[in-house]
Amino acid sequence: MNIKMILRTLGHILLTESLLLVLPVLVSILYGEHDALMFLISAALCGAVGAFLSWVPGRHADSSIHAREGFVIVALAWICVSLFGAVPFILTGSIPGFFDAFFETVSGFTTTGATILTDVEVLSHGVMFWRSFTHWVGGMGVLVFMLTVVPMTGGGAVYIIRAEMPGPAPGKLVPRLKDTAKILYFLYLILTLLEVVLLCAGGMPVFDSLVHSFGTAGTGGFGIWNNSIAHYESSYIHWVICIFMLLFGVNFNLYYFLMLRHFRDVWKNDELRVYVLIVVAAVALITMNILDQYDAFSTALRDASFQVASIITTTGYVTANYDLWPEFSKTILVTLMFIGGCAGSTGGGIKVSRFILMKRVVCRGIKRMIHPRSVGVVKMDGKTAGDGVVEGAGVYLMVYCAIATGTVLLLSLDGFSFTVNFSAMASCFNNVGPGLDMVGAVGNYSAYSAFSKFVLSIVMLAGRLEIFPMLILLTTLIPRFNGGKRYGKNRSNRSSEEI
């Protein structure tokens, strides 16, 4: 394990975060708020620790990073940026408790949108900006952002980006994976700016447009009003945010193909077609189910479309209290929490592509039971999916189920109902935000104990990083035994491909 390079990379990440913390300083100064000093202190503290970690390993340290180091760096980086990102909340007094501040920050960076705050409208503009900006940074990836602006030697960028990018088989658009990250961030920025412009055109103030675009782009869901997007009684604003939530739930590689006019590659994408089909079916079913609660079909269609888009992309914005909807509609929304967006998007959840893979694996298994000598292959987008991709999807789902079960069990110690605990787990693990009942559209997570908030924070990180980075970090920190013999230095230094 290359400890020195891990520390140096973490140092670069914290230095990058310290620069990002300057932005809320400027916002606070612009609005004449006293929180500017607290953000400046937070930036200085983060920068000092980052500079120290960058300097300690020495200039001539081995710069090589393999897959295992990549996973460990990603897991540690997200924990570190969340810890230092929580400092402004504590110093400004917005969220004085450590576990509450850590929960809120993790929720921001992981683009979950779950909150412990009961009144967000009392927050300063600087705090509101930082809270939503964490969504935007975390949406495409904290380390992907850093690697687009900070040069890295030793080829480690490949392993880091692959460990952080969502989906069963992260691909690249150009030969260099780092250049792919730059292209994706460029598209991310353009779509964000486009939404800001359209929201401003609909009468939303510039600050509101900016923070809500951050939340939409990162599919996060932090708002600046207690009733979320319902505060804006404008069908135009609701539809703009709804459409952009769905756009950010699509694989960003497809937008690059559209830029190159490779329309056939977009049309052949199995995941996109299934994603659209799920959205259309869910909207149709919910609209018909809630129609008797609305005066007009157009209003029912708008709220159904918005909530379906918000939940399947794991954004978490709300325009209606869906806890009052029939059980059938609520069940569909909870199901969408698990499905999530497309691989390569900013959305969370298990991902549509994994469900497609597993469905085709099941079909292949049934076919082999009927025709034992048949040789079936699993295909995605007209290409054969490798055994590693199929196996990885299966392993992911098994570990996912184990963590989900354990989380619900731990949350039950607080004594809340199974509905509350299950929806809280589903919402946090899939990075959605709101759940049902106490943690629903008009609720929050403040009633949970510090222990449960910490558990949910770890679950949010595991969900955003798709489990394996956190799992590999855990197995790295905890001594492992095999037949009574502890793995020694030689074992820990084995190449990532062997692990």
First-last CA distance in the chain:
12
User: What is the C-alpha separation between 174 and 125, in angstroms, rounded?
Assistant: 40
Phi and psi of 486, rounded to 5°? -80, 140
Find the length of the chain.
499
Residue 485 bridge partners (DSSP): 482
Phi and psi of 151, rounded to 5°? -65, 145
Report the candidate in 27, 11, 141 with the shortest Cα–Cα distance to residue 88: 27
User: What pLDDT digit, counting tens, does each position of 433-446 carry?
Assistant: 999 999 999 899 99
The pTM of this model reads 0.90
50-63 burial, b if ≥16 CB within 10 A, otherwise e?
Answer: beebbeebeeeeeb
Q: Looking only at Cα atoms, what is the longest distance across the chain?
A: 75
Q: Which two tokens stand for residue 129?
A: 């900006």
Report the candidate in 173, 88, 168, 169 with the shortest Cα–Cα distance to residue 133: 88
Compute the half-sphere exposure of residue 94: CA atoms within 13 Å on the CB side of its CA.
29
User: What is the C-alpha separation between 79 and 84, in angstroms, rounded?
Assistant: 9
Return the pLDDT at 481: 40
216 to each of 194, 232, 249, 468, how far by Cα in Å? Answer: 12, 15, 10, 26
Residue pair 95/32 in contact by the 8 Å Cβ criterion:
no
Q: How many whole angstroms from its chain centre is CA 61?
A: 33
In a domain, 173, yes or no: no
Phi and psi of 247, rounded to 5°? -65, -40
In a domain, 478, yes or no: yes
User: What is the C-alpha separation between 107 and 114, in angstroms, rounded?
Assistant: 6
Return the pLDDT at 177: 65
In a domain, 399, yes or no: yes
Report the candidate in 261, 257, 312, 251 with the shortest Cα–Cα distance to residue 282: 312
Angle between helices 3-20 and 142-149 (to 10 degrees): 90
Q: Profile the chain (499 residues) by mean pLDDT over runs of 10 residues.
A: 84 93 96 94 96 76 73 92 96 95 96 95 96 94 72 60 64 64 88 97 96 95 93 96 96 90 87 96 97 95 97 95 96 96 90 90 86 76 76 89 96 96 96 94 94 97 91 79 44 37
Q: How many whole angstroms from its chain centre is CA 197?
A: 24
Q: How many whole angstroms from its chain centre is CA 182?
A: 19
In a domain, 459, yes or no: yes
Return the pLDDT at 489: 44
Residue pair 497/67 in contact by the 8 Å Cβ criterion:
yes
In a domain, 392, yes or no: yes
In a domain, 228, yes or no: no
Return the pLDDT at 175: 55
Q: Cα torsion at 307, 313, 316, 319 (round to 10°)?
A: -30
In a domain, 93, yes or no: no
Burial status of residue 291 (CB atoms within 10 A of its CB: 0-12, 13-18, 19 or more): middle
What is the residue range of 441's domain? 381-494
Return the pLDDT at 33: 93
In a domain, 209, yes or no: no
Left (φ > 0), alpha (ψ -120 to 50) or beta: where does 167 sit? left
**Count of structural domains, the chain:** 1
